[in-house]
Every structure is written in structure tokens, then in C-alpha cells.
Structure 1
Amino acid sequence: MEDGRGDGDDVAPALESDWREFRARLLAREREATPEERASAISEENMKVLEAQNPRLAQAKPWAHVIAAPEKGCLLVAADQEFRMSQQYFHQAVILVLEHHENGSMGIILNRPTQYNMGYVSGEPSGPFAENALYFGGDVGDGTVSFLHGREDVKGSVEVLPGVYLGGYESACELVQQDGSTCHPDEFKFFARYCGWAPGQLESECERGVWYPIAAAKELSLKQVIQLPKPLWREILELCGGELADIAARAYQDATDESPLSVDNLDEEN
């Protein structure tokens, strides 16, 4: 049947059909695999890095899935098409939501390490956390430095979500410096500044598709992300599967032809 298109247009339906068939096969494989098998396949190389950095954190397999709306303790994963021209530090960002209520929301970007370490920032080059990277946590709060960890024995800390804590600096220093301590500095992530949203703003942005709200394993929030074989943004979307895994695949297919801002480092590509 003629539809007014030229002969060259006949190629497009065939390509579209191939993509649908490919996606159907992919989803079928996902249904056959257990969550543990999928996590192993997706995060294998990142887990090797984590085992070397923080064996305690590497004991559990990572997981992630989409939720209906943002909530305290969830992750916000930026849609790939967002923040390409402005606020580029949010492009392919992964944010942990620390607070979410009627007065607004706040969080920290998990995958933007800077070139600075805590020894440089604090002026204590021999301190217990001197070699820890300082992450760029957001665009709000000049001079604000916070830190995350997974240690329930750190006094003065506040639990953000099960197994993830914020604060307790003096106690953390004592634990790291104790003779024979098994507490390692890499178990702590430090952030300069944070992200903030006015009342209702975050919900509105999620409804518009700016962010994907995602529930995820604590390991994805706590691990260091410097020089990961697979960037955190991509890993989380692939763990979610389905349409989000397709988005990650397309984003990194495009990256073979051009260099996007899909890096987990402000200064060097991850």
C-alpha cells in the first residue's frame, strides 16, 4: 500500500522492528534470571573494586527498583536528556534524599568527586580522613561539609535509611584511630554542600520526568565511586531493568561517538 513516503523511508520500520525484537529478548532473559544473577552480571566489575576498597560493604548484592514518588532515603537518578546545557553537575547525577517533607527536600549528589581530599580541605594533612575524596554534594550551602557511612557504632550519627548514617565525626575519628581497628577511612564519604528543593518542587520535577525516584541497596549510596568500571548512574539504571536499562544502553551507545558528561568525577572521566 502506498503511503506517500519515498523508497528510502522503508528502512525505518525494519530498524524499529529489530529494536522491539531485541528488547523482547532482553526482557525475556531478565524474567528468567534471578535478582542475584542479574546483579552479578550488571555489577560484577564494580563489585571487584568494592571488595578491594571495602570488603564489609561488598558482602551483599546490589539491587534497585523504581518507586512511585520521592521519599526520604530514596535515590534520584537524573533523566539522561536533562541538564545537558545548564547545571551540568546534575547531568547523569545520582542523589540520595536525606530529607523529604511538607517543608521541602534536601539531598546530596553521590557521584561527583572533586579533585580535593579532606586533608587539603580541613588543613589536617595527617588526619584520619586526610586521603578521603571530597564529593560535590550540590549547589546549596556554602561551607557545609557532611559525611555518610554505614557504621551503626558511630556515636552522634543519624540514620537516613536502614544501614546508612549521617554525621558523628568525632566518634568516627576515634574508631578509625583505635589500635587494631577494623574501621577503615574508605567507609566514610564526605560532601561539600547539598541539593535543596522548595515545598512540592521535587514531586513536580519527578512528575515531569526530570528525576527517576528509585529505592536501592545501601551499598550503592555508601561506596566510593572514583574510577568505577561502570559509572554509578548506568549501574543503577541497569539494575532497575526494563525501560531504564534501555535508556542506559542508548546513552552509552551514543557515548561511543561523542563524549558526554556521563562521568562520576568532575575532573576526570570515570
Structure 2
Amino acid sequence: MTELENFLFNIKLPQKEPCVGDLLVAEPFLRESYFNHAVVCLVDCPYAESSMGLVLNKLSDYSLADVLPVAGNSLSDIPVMSGGPVDENRLFYLHTLGDIMPGAEHIGNGLYIGGDFDSVVEYVNSGAAVKGLIKFYLGYSGWDALQLQDEIDRNVWAVAGAGCPDHVLGWAPEKFWHRQVRLMGPDYRGWLFHPQYPRLN
């Protein structure tokens, strides 16, 4: 393989063991439609058991006003993300509101998942800030025992380390994958030269 080919097509790079809060970044050749250019935040990752994550950069067809009870029209411009193809009627939320959200679970780096649903509804309907502080997802992504590790070993995913709350909750979905890959350093620069939908070129 030439130096240029190695730069463009190398996906066999050293990987860390995945942990809760880490981001999984899909390799650029992954054509499975749901996970094409996906970035997933791991929210449950016990060793040798099933794992769970939320896709951070795939929009659903719903706004926040569609999925929260009593939510007003002011929330109709806040999108709800599609967290994965499993249990797509179930609502999840990532946020930085751990101090005021009873039952929220810290997944690292100041980022929380879940918490008392009534408190979430009350917070949103109070008119408090939502953008950049809390994000909602329908469905989740799941792996059977050891399936995730097998996919990482086959270079389906790069393990990018803990997600920054400002990025997880604030980045636009259409730019998320590219921005995350840039943060991963020069070893991954070649990934940026691959089109997301090669058949369109």
C-alpha cells in the first residue's frame, strides 16, 4: 500500500477499551444506513455484557413539542434526535442538569443521562433554557454481549474517548461526524476525504 493509500484507507488504528461516556465514531466506509457517519455516546458498557448508546447526529421526524406533554409551541423548533433503531418509542435525554434532575446518572465529563421524567417536563415547560443543556432522543443503539468489542476489533468503530458536553449537546448533526474526526488527530485525517454517500459522486 502506498503512503497516499495508507493515508486515505487506513482504519486499523490503536483502540482504547470503551467506557461509559465514550464516543464511538463510525469508520468512513460503514454503509449501513442507520450508522453511516454516526457518532454514538455510550451510556451503558459493562465488560462482556450488552452495551447501549445513543446516536448523537441523526435527526428524527419529531420536535420536542411532539413528544413532551404540555410542551408549548415555543419548543416546535427544537429537534428530537433518533438515538437508535431499538425501542424507538422510548424517550431518552442527555443533559448537564444533574444537580437539579433527581435520579440522573452521571456518565462522565459533566454529562448525565435520564432523571425523573416529571422534573424534566416541569423544567422544559417552565421556559428554562433547553438548547445546549439537554437533548432528547427516541430509541437507542444496542449490542449483545461482546458484540461491540467484536465490531471495535474489526475497526467498525473508533473509540474517541469521553464526549464533551458542549459538543454532544450543541453541535449540529450534519457536521458532527466531521468535527469529531478532526478532534481525533492527524491519524484520522484521511477519513475526512471520503464522501458520506459515494454513489452520489
TM class by shorter chain equals: 0.7 to 0.9
**Does the aligned pair in 2 maintain the 1:137–1:191 contact within 8 Å?**
yes
Larger RCO of the pair (alpha carbons < 8 Å, separation 6+): 2
In the alignment, structure 1 residue 70 sits paired with structure 2 residue 18: yes
Counting matched residue pairs gives 189
CA distance in 2, matches of 1:121, 1:192: 9
CA deviations 1:49-76 (Å, max 9, x no partner) are: xxxxxxxxxxxxxxxxx75122211000
Letter paired with 2:183: L
Alpha carbons of 1:103 and 1:128: their partners in 2 closer, same or farther (altered >3 Å)?
A: farther
Which of residues 79, 92, 99 in structure 1 aligns to 2:37? 92
CA distance in 2, matches of 1:141, 1:172: 20
**Does the aligned pair in 1 maintain the 2:86–2:139 contact within 8 Å?**
yes
Alignment partner, residue 251 of structure 1: 194
Alignment partner, residue 210 of structure 1: 156
Q: Which runs of 5+ in 2 are unaligned?
A: 8-13
Offset of residue 127 of structure 1: 7.1
Offset of residue 199 of structure 1: 0.8
Alpha carbons of 1:170 and 1:259: their partners in 2 closer, same or farther (altered >3 Å)?
A: farther
Query: CA RMSD for the aligned pairs?
Result: 2.8
More strand per residue: 1 or 2? 2
Which of residues 112, 122, 129 in structure 2 aligns to 1:174? 122
> Secondary structure of the equivalent of 2:150?
helix
CA deviations 1:12-41 (Å, max 9, x no partner) are: x9xx67x59xx8xxxxxxxxxxxxxxxxxx
> Secondary structure of the equivalent of 2:28?
coil
TM-score w.r.t. length of structure 2: 0.80
CA distance in 2, matches of 1:73, 1:172: 21
Letter paired with 1:155: P
Alignment partner, residue 11 of structure 2: none
Offset of residue 176 of structure 1: 4.3
CA distance in 1, matches of 2:170, 2:123: 19
TM-score w.r.t. length of structure 1: 0.61
**Does the aligned pair in 1 maintain the 2:38–2:56 contact within 8 Å?**
yes
In the alignment, structure 1 residue 112 sits paired with structure 2 residue 55: no
Alignment partner, residue 63 of structure 1: none
**Does the aligned pair in 1 maintain the 2:98–2:105 contact within 8 Å?**
no
CA distance in 1, matches of 2:19, 2:83: 18
CA distance in 2, matches of 1:201, 1:225: 29
CA distance in 1, matches of 2:59, 2:118: 23
Counting only pairs closer than 5 Å after superposition, residues 213-252 of structure 1 correspond to structure 2 as 213-215=159-161, 216-226=163-173, 231-248=175-192, 250-252=193-195
Larger Rg: 1
What percent identity do the matched residue pairs reach? 25
CA distance in 1, matches of 2:169, 2:78: 13
Offset of residue 91 of structure 1: 0.4
